[in-house]
Chain A
Amino acid sequence: MERASESSEPVLDAKSQVTSQLIDFQWKLGMAVSSDSCRSLKYPYVAVMLKVADQSGQIKNKFIEMTIPQFQNFYRQFKEIAAVMETV
């Protein structure tokens, strides 16, 4: 994803003490075809990497792997948030 541009929120914000900023979001759609425990697989998965920066500026990478149903749920939740943000 292209880098989101700087947010316009005021800097002095109590929440930023405990929250991080999402800097980047990378993803990959893959298929596991074999593993040590199962010779023949056809398991699609979505792998996501979130780059977050905490208050001190320290950047952390958070990796998440999801099954397709989990991804669909994940997507659905974001659409819900966006819909709410739209209406308030």
Chain B
Amino acid sequence: MAALAAEHFAALQSLLKASSKDVVRQLCQESFSRSALGSESLLDITCSSLSVTQEEAEQLLQALHRLTRLVTFRDLSSAEAILVVCALSKTLLSTVSLPRLVDLDWRVDIKTSSDSISRMAVPTCLLQMKIQEDPSLCGDKPSVSAVTVELSKETLDTMLDGLGRIRDQLSAVASK
């Protein structure tokens, strides 16, 4: 399955000129089919609705064709899902954002003894998070910082509670 390259993301920028979400949605749907890439009429529609050159329109349709196929291959079938993926593409989100978590590694240890306690079996978690600063602020090489925390079972349970609450909120919002 063809992946999306940097130039595809750049081409998707043309979508920003769309006057409405419906235009974007329509383009996603039209560009999906195999015949989309050769279609003169689709090219014309794209040029006029986005006010872009033929070349830009062509590149956009190619990128959208790949993107929509990639999305479908991963079983997101509705137009809405395709829109979500588009919205999440680096292009449309090249906006103000906070640092992102790029990696989460962990290890569970068991403390079996210490100088003061000869036998015990206390599980503990070592968690390392790699955080990348806002790329738009750092140019080519955004800095990645790592933070390693040791979590007791108690702390972990408290965190899980919090995360569960976020999950509940998400369901509540989604059902509206």
Contact = CB atoms under 8 A, between A and B. Distances in A.
A1 B110 contact: no
B114 A85 contact: no
Interface size, B (range): 35 or more
Interface residues of A, number: 55
B151 A66 contact: no
Interface string A2-37: 101101111011011011111001010100100111
Contacts of B96: 35-36
Contacts of B137: none
Main secondary structure of the interface of A (DSSP, over half): mixed
Given A27-B162, A29-B170, A85 B123 contact: yes
Given A42-B87, A63-B99, A74-B104, A25 B159 contact: yes
A19 B108 contact: no
B41 to A, nearest CB: 27
A22 to B, nearest CB: 5
B154 A29 contact: no
Given A10-B117, A78-B156, A50 B147 contact: yes
Contacts of B155: 4, 7, 22
B45 interface: no
B166 A52 contact: no
A40 interface: yes
Contacts of A60: 147
A37 B95 contact: yes
Contacts of B161: 1
Interface in A38-88: 38, 40-44, 46-47, 50, 52, 60, 62-68, 70-72, 74-75, 77-79, 81-82, 84-85, 88
Interface of B: 16, 20-21, 87-88, 92-101, 104, 106, 108, 110-111, 114-117, 121-127, 129, 131, 147-164, 166-167, 169-170, 173
11 contacts: A29-B173, A37-B94, A37-B95, A38-B95, A43-B87, A65-B97, A71-B166, A72-B167, A78-B160, A81-B125, A82-B160
Given A5-B154, A42-B87, A88-B108, 9 more contacts: A7-B152, A10-B111, A22-B149, A43-B88, A46-B166, A50-B129, A64-B98, A65-B98, A81-B125
